[in-house]
Chain A
Amino acid sequence: MKYVEEFRDAELAKGLSAAISAEADPDRIYRFMEFCGGHTHALARYGVEDLLPKNVHMIHGPGCPVCVLPVGRVDEAVALATQHDVILCTYADLMRVPGTKYESLIKARSKGADVRMVYSTIDALNIAKDNPDREVVFFAIGFETTTPPTAVAIKQAQKLGLKNFSVYCNHVLTPAAMRAILGTHTPQGAPPNEQNNVILDGFVGPAHVSAVIGTQPYEEFTRDYKKPVVIAGFEPLDVMQSILQLIRQTNDGRADVENEYARAVTPQGNIKAQKLVDEVFKVRDEFSWRGLGSVPLSALKIRAEFSEFDAELRFRVDVPNPKENKLCECGPILRGEKNPVDCSLFGTPCTPDNPMGACMVSSEGACAAHWTYGRFRTELELEDSA
């Protein structure tokens, strides 16, 4: 596969691994957060950790839109499917996310709700076209990569004059989340305080979010928080190269935005997509995130001009008070403060088979990634230390 396999080459990986080991200062620890769930997945799936020196720690960030979706929003989606006779269209990752009392869309479907898995908003629009007598709701989630397709779908629905199509909008914004992680009230360079802010040396920036928003939005972090950001492509060599660049910046005391994914990311990003999103959505004052709590200006809602396509205005639902399992550590894990194995539920009983929280459902959640790809390492370490 062109432009894919070359970026997974084992020989180049060896070279980059050697370069990273050579430049990492053995007398310090480096803590870099890979914001994006896709990078978490790539690191785990290729075993990149084995190619990094022990003093380079990758902290998994909250860039998994399934993982950060609050329980209350899942409950509302389940309620839409069960309390109204809608066809609820959803991306596959959302099917098994547990809401309050572990109700999920896949459980609702087994009880008779019409929940359908789609690969694209185009499928949802087609379902609406093919079923003019049924209401069709598209459960929209995602960071800035996934938002433009939803914008296209809403405009398309308007163009076609569809009267039975709406969107339950949960799109969220990356820079706001990064700000929340770094602590909006932490002055630049200050040490972590009681608010549990994480010591981070830098960020591996998202690949495809950046293809849409460009590199400019990250300059606030280098400028105000003095943390380097290296935007990385999706393949394991991209991530390794970005880690190398972050180590260099950290050693040099620099904090710049660097673009490793120049083959797909430009400084301004995809203007056409940005304009479309701006036309259809506006920023919510605040939005509740699993793990980060209430974050201002961090999510999108549908503009008034398109209100007929807003499921939140079209349907009223009855939902319980949202409740998460008290022992679930998804919050601290999403903030990078704890590791999956620090959660008492990890493995018993929380597993991808029986998820207690969202970090275990999405294959890019830190817990699922560790369970599925990496837990043998922890077991081996336990054995070695015994």
Chain B
Amino acid sequence: MNAPQKPPQKPHGNKPGSRPLDLKNGRVDMSHGAGGRAMAQLIEDLFVGEFDNELLNREHDAAMFTLPPGRVVMSTDSFVISPLFFPGGNIGSLAVHGTVNDISMAGAKPYYLTAGFIIEEGFPLADLSQIVKSMAAAAKEAGVSIVTGDTKVVERGHGDGIFINTAGVGVVRDGVDVCGDLAQPGDKILVNGTLGDHGVAVMSKRENLSFTTAIESDSQDLGDLVSDMLDAVPDIHVLRDPTRGGLAATLNEIAHQSGVGIELNEDAIPVRPEVKSACELLGLDPLYVANEGKLIAICPADKADALLAAMQAHPKGQHAAIVGEVLQDARCFVRMKTGLGGTRMVDWLAGEQLPRIC
């Protein structure tokens, strides 16, 4: 049963007696989190104004909707990236891409997102506005709506500028069953493109590293690529995006969840030359560097070529490659045939990858 239609609310700025938000020079202050008029104005003018969809415009605490029939998938992620703005994106676009991709990795089509903000007192409204605009654009491109959210403000010094949490829901299509524990010996492992771009782009903005590069984050929504992939090969066994910890961490997780071993072919793994050299300079291994617009797909061996073709036909899979295969191995080791012809392990990393000096 549908609720009665209400006209969309007008922004507070148009109400007599209130000033519009100063998006150029203004800053978030404690009143914006206090639940009063200032907060309502921030939410309406900025969040609702930008995210702009029927469900959100109603401004209920909870959004009510029905989903198409099928198994429902839900996911959440929090974003604490530093710096907030980096080549190819910002914490906002990342917050949308991260969660829609998690939904896509379940073989599901994402529909709705939530967005929770924890903002530090003094955070510039200009930056907040840009972040919110990026989220809106990313959501639009991914075909999702941000339908409910929350805003809190913490005292200066108690937050790192801004933290964002997004949660999402989606629906899995019939006949698709992807899960981390479904990799089988003999399956092939594919990636949709070059690895390490995001991590290097973010690190290039860190003060104390002093290197410049044209590399941009690969942060992007993978929904339509996944859709094409499932059209071509409905019985893909595993889909996962190699974010923190890179390809290495993700493959180790999958190996353990599925109780299998993995062997990679170093020569087949696509890495941009600048990413390789930035990693050399910093003493990092690209296999362990974060990605935000890449996925790993594991599928039966006889379907690998068809899957590869489907990926390469899509703009977000141009540089897709078959990078390895799944083996029988009770110890769940991830191994790699090196470019030199020897073999090494690709171990599960201990904590933050520390660059070498000596």
Q: B343 — which chain A residues lie within 8 A by C-beta?
A: 47, 50, 376-377
CA distance A137 to B340 in the complex (A): 42
CA distance A364 to B343 in the complex (A): 17
Which residue in chain A gives the minimum CB-CB distance to B356? A363
CB atoms of A146 and B358 under 8 A apart: yes
- Residues from 75 to 105 in A contacting B, C-beta threshold 8 Å: 91-93, 95-96
CB distance from A61 to the nearest CB of B (A): 13
CB atoms of A41 and B209 under 8 A apart: no
- Residues from 173 to 192 in B contacting A, C-beta threshold 8 Å: none
- Residues from 51 to 102 in B contacting A, C-beta threshold 8 Å: none
Q: Which of these binds chain B: A161-169, A304-312, A366-374? A: A366-374
Question: Out of B341, B350, B357, which one reaches A91, CB within 8 Å?
Answer: B357
Whether a CB of chain B sits under 8 angstroms from the CB of A228 is: no
Which residue in chain B gives the minimum CB-CB distance to A209? B358
Chain B contact residues (Cβ within 8 angstroms of A): what range? 20 to 34
Question: Out of B208, B342, B347, which one reaches A48, CB within 8 Å?
Answer: B342
Query: A39-57 interface mask toward B, CB cutoff 8 Å, 1 = contact, 0 = none?
Result: 0010011111111000000
Given A118-B208, A142-B358, verify A372-B347 contact (CB < 8 Å).
yes
CB distance from A150 to the nearest CB of B (A): 12
Which residue in chain A gives the minimum CB-CB distance to B277? A1
CA distance A64 to B267 in the complex (A): 29
Q: Which of these binds chain B: A6-14, A193-201, A213-221, A255-263? A: A6-14
Q: A64 — which chain B residues lie within 8 A by C-beta?
A: 358
CB distance from A145 to the nearest CB of B (A): 7
Most buried by A among B276, B331, B333, B344: B344
CA distance A162 to B193 in the complex (A): 49
Which residue in chain B gives the minimum CB-CB distance to A373? B344
Which residue in chain B gives the minimum CB-CB distance to A143? B358
CB distance from B339 to the nearest CB of A (A): 6
Query: A139-164 interface mask toward B, CB cutoff 8 Å, 1 = contact, 0 = none?
Result: 00111011000000000000000000
Q: B356 — which chain A residues lie within 8 A by C-beta?
A: 41, 92-93, 362-364
Most buried by A among B267, B282, B340, B341: B340
CA distance A49 to B345 in the complex (A): 13
Given A1-B280, A8-B339, A376-B333, verify A46-B355 contact (CB < 8 Å).
no
Question: Out of A1, A117, A123, which one reaches B273, CB within 8 Å?
Answer: A1
CB atoms of A376 and B345 under 8 A apart: yes
CB atoms of B342 and A50 under 8 A apart: yes
User: How would you classify the secondary structure of chain B's contact residues: helix, strand, loop or mixed?
Assistant: loop
Q: A46 — which chain B residues lie within 8 A by C-beta?
A: 338-340, 342, 344
CB atoms of B357 and A47 under 8 A apart: no
Whether a CB of chain B sits under 8 angstroms from the CB of A386 is: no
CB atoms of A8 and B358 under 8 A apart: no
CB atoms of B344 and A146 under 8 A apart: no
Q: B331 — which chain A residues lie within 8 A by C-beta?
A: 376, 379
CB atoms of A371 and B347 under 8 A apart: yes
Question: Out of A142, A353, A372, which one reaches B357, CB within 8 Å?
Answer: A142
CA distance A259 to B239 in the complex (A): 50
CB distance from A63 to the nearest CB of B (A): 9
CB distance from A237 to the nearest CB of B (A): 8
Q: B351 — which chain A residues lie within 8 A by C-beta?
A: 96, 353
Whether a CB of chain B sits under 8 angstroms from the CB of A375 is: yes
Which residue in chain A gives the minimum CB-CB distance to B273? A1
Whether a CB of chain A sits under 8 angstroms from the CB of B354 is: yes
Question: Out of B209, B282, B341, B345, which one reaches A14, CB within 8 Å?
Answer: B341
Whether a CB of chain B sits under 8 angstroms from the CB of A37 is: yes
Whether a CB of chain B sits under 8 angstroms from the CB of A351 is: yes
Query: A212-237 interface mask toward B, CB cutoff 8 Å, 1 = contact, 0 = none?
Result: 00000000000000000000000010
CA distance A306 to B231 in the complex (A): 71
CB atoms of B344 and A13 under 8 A apart: no
Whether a CB of chain B sits under 8 angstroms from the CB of A70 is: no
Given A1-B273, A379-B331, verify A364-B358 contact (CB < 8 Å).
yes
CB distance from A377 to the nearest CB of B (A): 8
CA distance A288 to B192 in the complex (A): 52
CA distance A46 to B338 in the complex (A): 6
CB distance from B330 to the nearest CB of A (A): 10
Q: A14 — which chain B residues lie within 8 A by C-beta?
A: 341
CB atoms of A50 and B358 under 8 A apart: no
Whether a CB of chain B sits under 8 angstroms from the CB of A202 is: no
Q: A10 — which chain B residues lie within 8 A by C-beta?
A: 267, 339-341
CB distance from A94 to the nearest CB of B (A): 9
Question: Out of B338, B341, B355, which one reaches A45, CB within 8 Å?
Answer: B338
Whether a CB of chain A sits under 8 angstroms from the CB of B335 is: yes
B residues neighboring A (CB under 8 Å):
208-209, 267, 273, 276-277, 280, 282, 331, 333, 335, 337-345, 347, 349-351, 354-358
Besides A47-B340, A93-B354, A364-B356, 15 more A-B contacts (Cβ < 8 Å) are A10-B267, A10-B341, A37-B358, A38-B358, A46-B342, A47-B342, A91-B358, A92-B357, A119-B282, A119-B357, A142-B358, A362-B358, A372-B347, A374-B344, A375-B345
13 interchain pairs (CB within 8 A)?
A: A13-B341, A17-B341, A48-B340, A50-B342, A91-B357, A119-B282, A119-B355, A141-B358, A142-B358, A143-B358, A351-B350, A372-B347, A373-B344
Q: Which 3 A-B pairs have the closest CB atoms?
A: A47-B342, A50-B342, A352-B350
A residues neighboring B (CB under 8 Å):
1, 4, 8, 10, 13-14, 17, 37-38, 41, 44-51, 64-66, 91-93, 95-96, 117-119, 123, 141-143, 145-146, 236, 351-353, 362-364, 371-377, 379
